[in-house]
Amino acid sequence: MNILITGASRGIGRELVNRFDNGINKIYAVARNVEGLEGMDNIIPVSLDLADIQSVREYFKNLDVKFDIVIANAAISLPHSPSFTPFEDFKKTFDVNFLSIHAMLEGVVSKMEKGKIVLISSLASLVGAPSSMPYSASKRALNSYAQSLRNLLAPDIKVINILPGFIKTDMTDKNDFYMPFLMDLKSGVDRIMYAIESNKKEYAFPKRFYYLIKLFNLLPLSIQDKLLQKVSK
């Protein structure tokens, strides 16, 4: 199989490369820093800055590969902050976490006949936390995109939207707040692989955290707001 994984240099993406690297699959591994991915059989390192939308469009338009699985995993999260996000930081978050995915798929989807497109969203998409406004908003946009794309490309191309909770990676190592239900990388990627293998349309985990968030979203907005303001102080 031809497999494309973004954010392949570290964390969840790097572990996904390991899981799919069976000596037969050909893995296109995208990140800015691909040093650790060089010189390996079957892995094609692709050094690309996903914030550079025009380069992303051009690279994938010109790449003559029919992918079987595409995993849009790369994302950034600014440090949590109670201040209003500067526009440049907000735009960069949207470019990397959201717009680069469409820029990439524009060149990729037309060459796919069958296969899977996996989007890595987040449980953070289900709550608009004031301290991580661009991240939550970019992932919420991705949820809507996933629903549209799934129905646009059905039945030949399966679209799988995955909403993980906290997983121990560089992204969460910089957080200085309590992260409920924090999972280790292996357990988190086990769940992601399960969702991919079983063609889940949408898969949120861990379930206990997901149901707590669902309950939170059933509360009256006045109570939700009080809680959100309290935890983000």
Ligand X SMILES: NC(=O)c1ccc[n+]([C@@H]2O[C@H](COP(=O)([O-])OP(=O)(O)OC[C@H]3O[C@@H](n4cnc5c(N)ncnc54)[C@H](OP(=O)(O)O)[C@@H]3O)[C@@H](O)[C@H]2O)c1
**How far is the C-alpha of 10 from the C-alpha of 14, rounded, in Å?**
5
Contact 64, 111 (CB under 8 A): yes
Residue 8 vs 43, nearer CB to ligand X: 8
**CA-wise closest residue to 84 among 16, 132, 145:** 132
Residues that bind ligand X (CB under 6 A): 7-13, 31-33, 48-51, 73-76, 96, 120, 122, 164, 166-167, 169-172
Shortest spacing between CB 135 and ligand X, in angstroms: 7
State the minimum distance, in angstroms, from the CB of residue 223 to ligand X.
Answer: 25
Q: Torsions phi, psi of 184, nearest 5? A: -80, 165
Of 115 and 206, which has the nearer Cβ to ligand X? 206
- The least distance separating ligand X from the CB of residue 101, rounded to whole angstroms, comes to 10
Report, in Å, the least distance between residue 7 CB and ligand X. Answer: 3
CB of 114 to ligand X, least distance (A): 25
CB atoms within 10 A of CB 110: 9
**Contact present, 122 and 164 (Cβ < 8 Å):** yes
Name which of 160 and 167 has its Cβ closer to ligand X.
167
Q: Angle 169-171-34 (CA atoms, 0-180°, nearest 5)?
A: 75
Name which of 54 and 222 has its Cβ closer to ligand X.
54
Which strand (E) or helix (H) includes residue 140?
helix 133-153
Which residue, 115 or 165, has its beta carbon nearer to ligand X? 165
Judge contact between 71 and 6, C-beta under 8 A.
Answer: yes
Q: Between 7 and 115, name the residue whose CB sits nearer to ligand X.
A: 7
Nearest residue to ligand X, scored by beta-carbon proximity: 11
* CA–CA gap between residue 158 and residue 70 (Å, rounded): 10
User: How far apart, in Å, are the Cα atoms of 39 and each of 5, 26, 44?
Assistant: 17, 13, 9
Q: Of the two residues 109 and 189, which places its CB atom closer to ligand X in the complex?
A: 189
Min separation Cβ 198 and ligand X, Å: 19
Question: DSSP code of 181?
Answer: T
What's the min distance (Å) between Cβ of 46 and ligand X?
A: 9
* 134 contacts: CB under 8 Å, gap ≥ 6: 78, 85, 89, 90, 93, 94
